[in-house]
Amino acid sequence: MQAEDRADFEAFVVARSHALFRTALTLTGHRQQAEDLLQIALVRTVRHWRRVSADNPEAYLRTVMYRQQMNWWRQRGRRPETPLPVPPDRGQADSTAAVDLSLLVDTALRRLAPRQRAVLTLRYLEDLSVEDAAEILGCSPGTVRSQTVRALRRLRELCPELDLRQNEGIHR
Amino acid sequence: MTDHVTREVTAGLGRLGAGTPPAPDALAAGAVRGAARVRRARVAGTFVAVAVVIAVAVGVATAATPRRRSLPATPPTGGHLVVAGIGCTAFPGYSMLLDPDTGAYRKVPYCVEDVSPDGRRATVSEYVAAGREFRDGALTIATGQVVWFDDPYGRGVWSPDGRHVLMGADIDVASSGAWLADPDTGRVARISFGDLGDHQIDQVVWTPNGDLLATASCGCLPAALYGYDLGGHLVRSLPKAPRYPWPRGLYPGRVSPDGRYLVETSESTGEGFVTSILLDGAGARAVGHFGLRGYFVVGWYDATHLVVREGARSGKRPTELVVMDLGGHITSRLTRDVDSSSSSEQTLTTLFIATATDATGDKAF
């Protein structure tokens, strides 16, 4: 890698690593895995830097991250043993404290299948259209729609307080 | 999804991603070092691969004959085709559906997922709740009436007899299960896969006789395809005899009209590859493997040919279809416009084809 390209790449990493790490952390739910995921995506990006830097390196890197995360999930035989920074026990909701709902939502999001979490991240956190999300994940828009529905349904199963809290708000 | 849930999910994802990132300079330096390692490994691997290729080429050079890519003398004679153009790139989506009785195309305010074998009905989905959630149902094309399914379960694929709709079987059966919907009542029931359980199944597709064929790529099952009846009973097991690498993450997966081949594609939009798998008494053997090169498989043309369309990236009109054999060779082209009034609309992104025994070919092309 030539010095000029390397300087460009380093500047890109300095500018965007914070946001990219957030995405990796959202996808994996685990700091160590997020660092690994980001590092692998950066290695792949730097190998093609001259080509991707002329276009949209961040889009390329994000696509690599999402697809890599999906591949890891498949390669683990859908039986991931993921170390969690906190015990995965589900807390009891205190109906008067909004913070409890946040904790329950966070726990439920961590328990979603990686693909489901990836779809929600693309659709809600990154606010991408179904088609753009499909492009990144390398699947059809119909698959993204289906996964979104399933992810939300699973989230409601894991965290029924979401709907309870909503109903409380309506009746108030 | 309601605004309340949207807010909670978005905020939760934001909290999940909150954390101090590693030092950027360390990340960049690590990436450069990693890329150098990959490059060194590839150079070493290339020398080995070149040596192997030369050795093999010398050994078989005299027997090798160039492969013909010209059209066959007799084009395949397929069944009648029913076409639906899909324009679901924006909210709300719409589709153009052929009414086999009139030959006219109807614009319906839904995204079509699959057309029934007789061409008269279609599984559709539509956005609800401010474009964030979806529901699925069975549309009668002539009347426009929709029977909505009890719960959304993903893309619905019609059974060969048109009596059932298989839901969600093209994606993640392992985590979410596969479901059968009754297109007349809207009732949905989960499919049981006997002792194996959902979590070991990757994909499920229909076979021409109305059974289900399940694949597993998780490595937790013996390498085989598994046939089930609709009651969840295992009726056959086809061991895989690998010739080509068995791909992962296949889409959409369809069995040929005579039940002899299963074709699976790695992606739904270009740049993927097709693997054709021969199903016979000896098991399941991958017998063909080729890159799609920007094409998109939409269905079977006949027992040994596929209908594919040229992808949006190729710059071709969305209504241009070609017929390919299982070696990836184009044997004919089908280039009639879906509808003259809509042919200029750029939002037609997908075409579905179903074999309709009572539609005439002229109405479709």
What does the block give as tokens for A11? Answer: 């500047």
Give chain A positions within 8 Å (CB) of B248: 71, 74
If we measure between CA atoms, which residue out of A31, A14, A13 comes closest to residue A22? A31
Q: What is the pLDDT of residues B18-60, one digit of tens each?
A: 777 777 777 777 777 766 655 544 443 333 333 322 222 222 2
Predicted TM-score (pTM) of the model is 0.51
- For residue B325, the Cα-to-chain-centroid distance in whole angstroms is 17
For residue B326, the SS3 value is coil
The per-residue pLDDT for A77 is: 37
* Cα–Cα distance for residue pair B253/B331, rounded to 1 Å: 22
Q: What is the pLDDT of residues A24-45, one digit of tens each?
A: 888 877 777 788 788 888 888 8
Contact assessment for residue B221 and residue B196, using Cβ atoms and an 8 Å cutoff? yes
Q: What is the pLDDT of residues B283-295, one digit of tens each?
A: 788 787 787 766 6
Q: Give the pairing type, strands B156-158 and B350-355.
A: unpaired
* Cα–Cα distance for residue pair B204/B63, rounded to 1 Å: 41
Question: Is B59 in CB contact (< 8 Å) with chain A?
Answer: no
The per-residue pLDDT for B100 is: 62
Please classify residue B358 by burial: count the beta carbons closer than 10 Å to its beta carbon, then call 0-12 exposed, 13-18 middle and 19+ buried: exposed
Select from B27, B153, B309 the residue whose CB has the most chain A CBs within 10 Å, as the one to mutate to test that interface. B27
Question: Is B41 in CB contact (< 8 Å) with chain A?
Answer: no
Nearest CA in chain B to A110: B16
Task: Tell me if B31 and A116 make a contact (CB, 8 A cut-off).
Answer: no
The per-residue pLDDT for B182 is: 94
Residue A50 CB neighbours (<10 A): 13
Residue of B9, B32, B133 with shortest CB distance to A120: B9
Question: Is B347 in CB contact (< 8 Å) with chain A?
Answer: no
Q: In this structure, what DSSP letter does residue B61 have?
A: G
pLDDT confidence bin for B189, thresholds 50/70/90: confident
* Cα–Cα distance for residue pair B277/B203, rounded to 1 Å: 15
If we measure between CA atoms, which residue out of B203, B292, B217 comes closest to residue B254? B203
A99-108, B161-170, B177-186: least confidently modelled range: A99-108
Contact assessment for residue A149 and residue B152, using Cβ atoms and an 8 Å cutoff? yes
* Cα–Cα distance for residue pair B67/B53, rounded to 1 Å: 19
pLDDT confidence bin for B184, thresholds 50/70/90: very high
Question: Is B52 in CB contact (< 8 Å) with chain A?
Answer: no
Alpha carbon of A42: minimum distance to chain B alpha carbons (Å): 5
If we measure between CA atoms, which residue out of A60, A71, A145, A137 comes closest to residue B267? A137
Give chain A positions within 8 Å (CB) of B38: 43, 47
Q: What is the pLDDT of residues A86-126, one digit of tens each?
A: 443 434 444 444 567 777 888 888 778 777 888 888 888 88
What does the mean pLDDT of chain B come to?
Answer: 65
Task: Tell me if B218 and A77 make a contact (CB, 8 A cut-off).
Answer: yes
Residue B135: in which H helix or E strand, if any? strand B133-140
Q: In this structure, what DSSP letter does residue B31 have?
A: H
Please classify residue A98 by burial: count the beta carbons closer than 10 Å to its beta carbon, then call 0-12 exposed, 13-18 middle and 19+ buried: exposed
pLDDT confidence bin for B324, thresholds 50/70/90: confident
Most confident of A15-19, A138-142, B19-23: A15-19
Question: Is B170 in CB contact (< 8 Å) with chain A?
Answer: yes
